[in-house]
Amino acid sequence: MGDKIHRNSLKLGHKLHWYRIEKILGQGGFGITYLAHDFNLDRQVAIKEYLPIELAVRERDFSVHPVTEDHGEKFRWGLDRFVTEARTLARFKHPNIVHVLNVFEENNTAYMVMEYEQGESLQEILSRRKTLEEAELINILIPVLGGLQKVHDAGFIHRDIKPANIFIREDGSPVLLDFGSARQALSMATQTLTSLVSPGYAPYEQYYSKSDQQGPWTDIYGLGATLYRAISGKAPMDAVDRSRAILKGEQDIFVPASQIGKGRYSERFLLAIDHALQFKEEDRPKTISAWKQEFDLPEDPIRQAIVAEHTPTQPGTKIPERQQQKRWIYSRVAILVVLVGIGVLYLYHGEIQDYLFGPTKAQLKSERQRAEDEKRLAALKQKKEENLKRKDMAFDPTTARLIEEPATSTFDPSTATPLDVTTPKSSYHRASEEQKRAEAEAQRQAEIESQRHEEVRKQEAERLALEEEHKKELEEEQKRAEAEAQRQAELERQRAEDEKNRLATEKAKREAEEEVKKAELEKQHTMEEERKQEQTAAKNDIDDELMDQIKAELLAEGIDLSTLPPAQQEAYIAGKYNELAAKKETLDNKMYINQS
């Protein structure tokens, strides 16, 4: 995963204070997590960078800025929550909660430095094994519940418990990672960051309610969903999907753990999981302690030790047998450590004292005595040489001149001043040995200093090489960006040209179609006029024939229209016309029926 290229991430080798980026561990909607080397303490750490991808983008100088001015307030608000969360987590000292070492602001964003844990996430384990045994899950559950209990007691909640955020160390112990409080707060502040909620592991209240309406029951849902995934091989239904059926008054689509894991896990274990995954928060356990009783789990050994350590006892209080055994073991170990320390001090007290405090008064006195002895030996040696030179000469004080002594005259050692060289010789040898040790120690320190300088030189050379490589990468990236910009400009010009040609073609096509439609409309209009004229002529012919028939029938009935007023004429004609029309319609119907 770290070998993949991530958009917006810092380059490998980039330095933040005394941290150097070595690898990219992961990238999500809220930020990027790096593996880095701490030069001060010479160890690996994990660094999480605040970079919400829907609100901010990285510039070429590595600084992070909001995408638009409208996102600036939300970006800075989320940044403050990120820093506050890091400071809160730094107060938690628990082996099953990620330990925050530092937090600082740089590049217009913030970085959270955490301990780097060796192992793999529970999600990776479940991807490989699908499900886990109940005993394995209990071994993971007990420490995680202990860590969550401490978080909840401090008035804080995790808000993003899922298999990816439970890390299993190489020794099998779990640790809670990636607290989602700041991320949840930011998702509530903006409607666009829906990806910050983990479907299947987030309860319904995380989709709609404010953070002050969430509590331990929210984390209990996430941990219950994690256990559900571990026994079923798949994540539970998303709370939003469940809400559609429940709000309509229909049956919950959630398949209980007691049904999926029946026969493979204990009934008590499965019922506790189902209780944690109740849709309504008021139907779930309210605290970790209450939920833990449903599993009938043993007490968390870490929490039990902390409580025992801080619980005062009254005179006469009986200490549990197991606690007495622990205290007996601890006391014996402490005594053994003290005895070993005393032995080391006895054997190497001289070297230790020289190394820590320098030479003592006795050693300084011995050194002065050695120097005086050496001066005395040198004086005796010089005197002896002078006597040897004067073996053939003698001094005459009466004449104040030198006279030659007989050739037989020799140097008499008995006349020399006696000197007890036993003690100086012993001090000399002792001082010589101490000097040799000092020279050896100085040589060893010189070699260490040389190695340190060589290491510093190598690191500086490596830094210069990385900076040169980074400079080349920036130049290449700039060239690629310029080439990409040129290519995009060419594509944009070509698109504009194509769009212009397309619009011209469509315009010509529309004009041609409009001409055809216009001609068709004119043709239809002409045909319609002709049809109307034909119908009018035919109607006139029919009306003349019908009027003659009406007049004839009225005359046959003894009614002469010419003798009647116009109003009566119209009334008679209308009545007779309707009568004839009805007869004609009846006749037409009979003809239609006969033809059918």
Question: Do residues 246 and 252 lie in contact, with contact meaning Cβ atoms separated by under 8 Å?
Answer: yes
Give the β-pairing of 109-115 and 100-106: antiparallel
Complete edge-to-edge strand list for the sheet that includes strand 100-106: 15-16, 19-27, 31-38, 43-50, 109-115, 100-106
Residue 430: enclosing H or E segment and its boundaries? Answer: helix 422-556
pLDDT tens column, 179-192: 755 444 444 444 44
- Dist CA 367 CA 359 (whole Å): 10
Question: In the predicted model, is pLDDT for residue 308 greater than 70?
Answer: no
In angstroms, the CA 207 to CA 171 distance is 36
* Residue 576 pLDDT greater than 50, yes or no: yes
The answer to whether 319 and 313 have CB atoms below 8 angstroms apart is: yes
Residue 407 — very low, low, confident or very high, per pLDDT cuts 50/70/90?
very low
Tens digit of each residue's pLDDT (9 = 90 or more) over 30-67: 788 999 999 999 999 999 999 888 888 888 888 999 88
Across residues 359-384, what is the average pLDDT?
Answer: 71
Predicted pLDDT at 251: 80
State residue 418's pLDDT score: 43
C-alpha span between 424 and 400 (Å, rounded): 39
CA distance linking residue 237 with residue 249, whole number of Å: 18
Q: What is the dihedral of CA 146, 151, 152, 153, to 10 degrees?
A: 90
Stretch 201-214: mean pLDDT:
77
Q: What percent of the chain has pLDDT over 90?
A: 24
The residue among 113, 208, 123 whose CA lies nearest residue 161 is: 123
Q: What is the pLDDT of residue 61?
A: 87
Between 135 and 480, the higher pLDDT residue = 135
Average pLDDT value for the chain: 78
Q: Model pTM?
A: 0.50
Distance CA 181, CA 192 (A): 17
Q: By mean pLDDT, which of 74-78, 334-338, 357-361 is the weakest?
A: 357-361
Confidence of residue 237 (pLDDT cuts 50, 70, 90): confident
Q: What is the pLDDT of residues 246-303, one digit of tens each?
A: 877 778 888 999 999 999 999 999 999 999 999 988 999 999 999 999 998 766 555 5
Q: So what's the pLDDT on residue 464? A: 86
Question: How many Cβ atoms are within 10 Å of 213's Cβ, its own excluded?
Answer: 11
CA-to-CA distance for 563 and 203, rounded, in angstroms?
Answer: 98
163 compared with 332, residue with greater pLDDT: 163
Query: pLDDT value at position 186?
Result: 41
- Write down the pLDDT at residue 361: 61
Alpha-carbon distances, residue 510 vs 503, 516, 525, 559 (angstroms)? 10, 10, 22, 66
Q: Is 39 helix (H, G, I), strand (E, B) or coil?
A: coil
Amino acid at the residue 459: Q
- The confidence band for 222, taking pLDDT boundaries of 50, 70 and 90, is very high
* pLDDT tens digits for range 5-18: 566 789 899 999 99
How many other C-beta atoms can be found within 10 angstroms of the C-beta atom of residue 399?
8
b/e sequence 356-365, b meaning 16+ C-beta within 10 Å = eeeeeeeeee
Task: Tell me the C-alpha distance between 357 and 5, whole Å.
Answer: 54
